[in-house]
Amino acid sequence: MSLAKYEVLLKVVETGNLTRAAEALGFTQSGVSHAVHSLEREFGFGLLTRSRSGVKLTANGERVIKSIREIVNWNEQLKQEVAAVHGMEIGTVRIGTFTSVSVHWLPGIIKRYRRDYPAVEVKLMEGDYREIEDWIGDGQVDFGFLSLPTREGFDAIPLSEDRMLCLVPKEHPLGERTSISFAELAEEDFVMPKEGSDYDVKRVLRKAGIQPKIKYEAADDRAIIAMVENGLGVSVLPEMVLQAHQHHLSMLELEDRSCRTLGLAMQAVKDISPAARKFKEYARAWIDQWEQSRVKNVGGGPSNG
């Protein structure tokens, strides 16, 4: 069985389309189709169903895709280990990430990493926490940035503490304050992040034992900030999210100084490839420096500007 056919199948599943897979691989569409048909003949069952909207795995395809992905991943790791023996750094690092990490951390980390390892390709997959956990579990990424704790069975490495802050309109009676109690928060109309984006906020509220008066839900951080600015309620968001936007609101510290712990999660630290292991080290060193500069520039309390 050819590893090349496995790689073609994985690219088709990733793109959901034979044409896009062919373009990404530099093949003809008929070449991609032939590789998939050849695998289906070898296995003795269909792997893909085709429709106007694209392609997806059959039930039997779902059963075998994880093993196929593991074979391809182990082959990639073998190539990297052999290259490392010869003093070369090659390969691909696949990373699961979410918006605030993509904005604040990854550009600097990747720039420094690529400077030293230009032959290593860095691929990013952006989603919410649940999607990133699924990608790690399925072997679609080497590791993912997540809010910890994460799914049981993963290895996790804490990297940074990120404050959870309450947002209120500038003109709100609490707008001149620097902190808010949970009792006060429970009395306010609340703008809740939608499911998939609400893990950190729900954890804070659950720990405090309060049920907010949810008036609106929004999936996009910018929408939540805009709703608060326009007096439609208050909300709670991580500090890193707020640093990515210009806004006209006040940010209050919560009474228990709640934080989210951001870190890296993977199936097993010992099993990640040499290129991924190096990237992990670079990420840790870069974030340590970022933390030190943030402490110097920001100082103690939240900004109300």
- State which residues form the domain around 237: 160-260
Q: Give the number of domains in the chain.
A: 2
CA 135 – CA 219 distance, rounded (Å): 21
Nearest to 214 by CA among 200, 222, 224: 224
Q: Report if residue 27 sits inside a domain.
A: yes
Q: Report if residue 118 sits inside a domain.
A: no
* Rg, Å, the chain Cα set: 23
Nearest to 132 by CA among 10, 243, 265, 222: 265
Report how far apart, in Å, the C-alpha atoms of 255 and of each of 125, 208, 305 are: 35, 10, 20
Task: Tell me the CATH number at 20.
Answer: 1.10.10.10
Asked if residue 24 lies in contact with residue 35, where contact means CB atoms within 8 angstroms, the answer is no
- Residue 175's Cα: distance from chain center in Å? 32
pLDDT digits (tens, 9 = 90+) for 272-281: 988 999 999 9
pLDDT digits (tens, 9 = 90+) for 29-59: 888 888 899 899 999 999 999 887 789 999 9
pLDDT at residue 300, as a whole number = 46
Residue type, 218: A
pLDDT level of residue 296 (50, 70, 90 thresholds): low
CA 198 – CA 39 distance, rounded (Å): 41
pLDDT at residue 1, as a whole number = 52
Which single residue is written with the structure tokens 């649940």?
130
Find the mean pLDDT for residues 2-31: 88
Q: Report if residue 53 sits inside a domain.
A: yes
Structure tokens belonging to residue 216: 């609106």
pLDDT at residue 113, as a whole number = 95
Final residue in a domain of this structure, among 38, 64, 90 = 64
CA 299 – CA 288 distance, rounded (Å): 16
Q: Report if residue 110 sits inside a domain.
A: no
CA 35 – CA 1 distance, rounded (Å): 11
Q: Report if residue 195 sits inside a domain.
A: yes
Q: Report if residue 152 sits inside a domain.
A: no
Q: Report if residue 288 sits inside a domain.
A: no
Q: Report if residue 46 sits inside a domain.
A: yes
Q: How far apart are the first and last CA of the chain?
A: 61
Structure tokens belonging to residue 236: 């709670």
Final residue in a domain of this structure, among 26, 43, 64 = 64
Task: Tell me the CATH number at 198.
Answer: 3.40.190.290
pLDDT at residue 234, as a whole number = 97
pLDDT exceeds cutoff 50 at 179: yes
Q: Would you mind telling me the total number of residues written for the chain in this entry?
A: 305
Find the mean pLDDT for residues 238-258: 88
